[in-house]
Amino acid sequence: MSEPTGGVVELDHVTKTYDGGVTALDDVSLTVADGDLLAVVGASGSGKSTLLHLMGTLDRPTSGTVRVAGERVDTLGDRALSVLRARRIGFVFQQSHLADRQAAVRNVETGLLYAGVPRRRRETLALEALDRVGLAHRAGHLPHQLSGGERQRVGIARALVTSPAVVLADEPTGALDSVTGAAVVDLFRALNATGVTIVVITHDQELAASLPRRVTLRDGRVVADERAVAVGGAKEADR
């Protein structure tokens, strides 16, 4: 195994095989650097969801190592892994999964429940997170009073509220129209400009091409890792 390179998320020769001999990821090495904004793109069955689960510590590799914020996932017990996930990883989903009867600020507070944040601090932190996504004025609104884009912004605020090392966004624009989806991507760019590290899992090639870095999976392998070149919007391959 190679030594850790200091990335926020590091996969070193990772393979994931499921019962029945299905190999979802095959010898994948990938580093997400602090401050990255990248898309992981690929067709259905390419391994995107498995990669997300491993990066998010929702699953463990069959072989190889996964590190998140410097911690080796395979060396942690379930309790320590839960703490790492709650404090260091923010999740954004295709559907916002908000509690229908709770105001936006209360939904964001749920991101703090398992992070050990005292109750007296939760509302202040939740309001600050809503302000970061431009929704401070909607803090008291229930989900049905919010547009689809606003609900997704609440979900993003919930992911941000613990100041995680990385935000993992799983098809975050998949349930939105193109205009609203573009606004969410613009929000990711704005957050990234403030130092937030974001990984977007998507099948949308256009979205992926618009981000500074694009990693392409095919049949469980990384087949391209490209970064945008500042001049002319061209791409250069890292591998």
Cβ proximity of 130 and 139 under 8 Å: yes
Between 232 and 52, the higher pLDDT residue: 52
Average pLDDT of every residue of the chain: 91
Residue 5 clears pLDDT 60, i.e. is over it: no
Percent of the chain with pLDDT over 90: 80
Residue 229 clears pLDDT 80, i.e. is over it: no
Rounded Cα gap, residues 176 and 141, in angstroms: 20
Residue 192 resides in a domain: yes
Residue 190 clears pLDDT 90, i.e. is over it: yes
Cβ neighbourhood burial of 144 (10 Å; 0-12, 13-18, 19+)? exposed
Residue 225 resides in a domain: yes
End-to-end CA distance of the chain: 19
Residue 212 resides in a domain: yes
Count of domains forming the chain: 1
Range of the domain at 149: 9-237
Q: Hey, how many other C-beta atoms are within 10 angstroms of the C-beta on 100?
A: 8
Residue 56 resides in a domain: yes
Nearest-CA neighbor of 183 among 148, 230, 214?
Answer: 148
pLDDT category at 169 given cuts 50, 70, 90 is very high
Rounded Cα gap, residues 63 and 26, in angstroms: 10
Cβ proximity of 202 and 43 under 8 Å: no
Two structure tokens written together for 159: 């992911």
- Averaged pLDDT, 226-239: 58
Residue 4 resides in a domain: no
Residue 1 resides in a domain: no
Q: Which of 1-15, 69-83, 108-122, 130-144 is modeled with the greatest confidence?
A: 130-144
Residue 143 resides in a domain: yes
Task: Look up the pTM and report it.
Answer: 0.91
Assign residue 176 the CATH number of its domain: 3.40.50.300
Contact partners, residue 71, CB within 8 Å, separation at least 6: 84, 88
Residue 68 resides in a domain: yes
Residue 171 clears pLDDT 50, i.e. is over it: yes
Rounded Cα gap, residues 179 and 7, in angstroms: 33
Residue 85 clears pLDDT 80, i.e. is over it: yes
